[in-house]
Amino acid sequence: MVHGYGNDVSWTFQSTAVFLARSGFACFAADLPGHGRSHGLRAFVPDLDAAVADLLAFFRAVKAREEHAGLPCFLFGESMGGAICLLIHLRTRPEEWAGAVLVAPMCRISDRIRPPWPLPEILTFVARFAPTAAIVPTADLIEKSVKVPAKRIIAARNPVRYNGRPRLGTVVELLRATDELAKRLGEVSIPFLVVHGSADEVTDPEVSRALYAAAASKDKTIKIYDGMLHSLLFGEPDENIERVRGDILAWLNERCTPPATPWHRDIPVE
């Protein structure tokens, strides 16, 4: 499981892992560099490919454990984590993963929060000299992501969450990686479920629709939830969260159910 930008595997993210674990799934997650309890300058990710390589090594070590032999393995990513899951898939063999759950994936940064031209070009130039500078103007991501006011307070109080302005080097790297991903949507061949809120102003639901349309995957599902924001699995009212969780669990269970034996298929059904 891969969290999003500025977040970590605790607080707002861990409730999904707890839900899936209670439903019979073994869940493993790691804080990205510069996030949560990982080392590095807060929210500074100058090389997303290095982060992808680290996560892939971690996930492969988990898969290699004896108790996981023969079990289907799924990728799960929220926001930037969804983009990372797709990058992991594009850098590995398709058969290595049974599928991917992509929650409001950052396949491209939404035009509603993307710096207008020519600011990206200026930021890219300045980042060569001051990559760690936290000076990129952007909207309050908690305000844009979390619908329920009380949950905004909870998210903001996470002591290891990064709430400052984005760092130049991180923004430039995200723009580079998401631009690459947007050009390679047609290469995606893994089975996937993508869920997105129609009112998301952080990542663009239209890009999720583009992923669904362009992907070469034979097994692909998209669900767009009317009126929901970016934080589908924490920031929405509880009934909305249960709806999204239920769709995710149903999709996973359908791909973990062993095929019926021949004598089961021969039993007539009336």
In this prediction the pTM is: 0.91
DSSP H or E segment with residue 74: strand 74-78
- Digit-coded pLDDT (tens) for 126-164: 888 999 999 887 778 899 999 999 999 999 999 999 999
Question: Residue 124's pLDDT is what?
Answer: 81
3-state secondary structure of 76: strand
What are the pLDDT tens digits along the chain (270 aa)?
999 999 999 999 999 999 999 999 999 999 999 999 999 999 999 999 999 999 999 999 999 999 999 999 999 999 999 999 999 999 999 899 999 999 999 987 666 666 666 777 787 888 889 999 998 877 788 999 999 999 999 999 999 999 999 999 998 899 899 989 999 999 999 999 999 999 999 999 999 999 999 999 999 999 999 999 999 999 999 999 999 999 999 999 999 965 444 443 433 333
Question: Residue 119's pLDDT is what?
Answer: 72
DSSP 8-state code for residue 70: T
Q: Pairing state of beta strands 74-78 and 220-225? A: unpaired
Determine whether 86 is exposed, middle or buried from the number of CB atoms within 10 Å of its CB (0-12, 13-18, 19+). Answer: buried
Side chain identity, residue 265 = R
Active-site residues, by number, are: 79, 200, 230
Q: Find how far residue 124's CA is from the centre of its chain.
A: 25
Contact residues for 211 (Cβ-Cβ < 8 A; gap 6+): 102, 105, 107, 185, 188, 194, 222
CATH of 14-113+141-163+173-256, one of 3.90.700.10, 3.40.50.1820, 3.40.50.300, 3.30.420.40: 3.40.50.1820
Domain extent listing, the chain: 14-113+141-163+173-256
Query: What is d(CA 118, CA 131) in angstroms, rounded to the nearest whole number?
Result: 18
Tell me the CA end-to-end span of the chain in Å, nearest whole number: 42
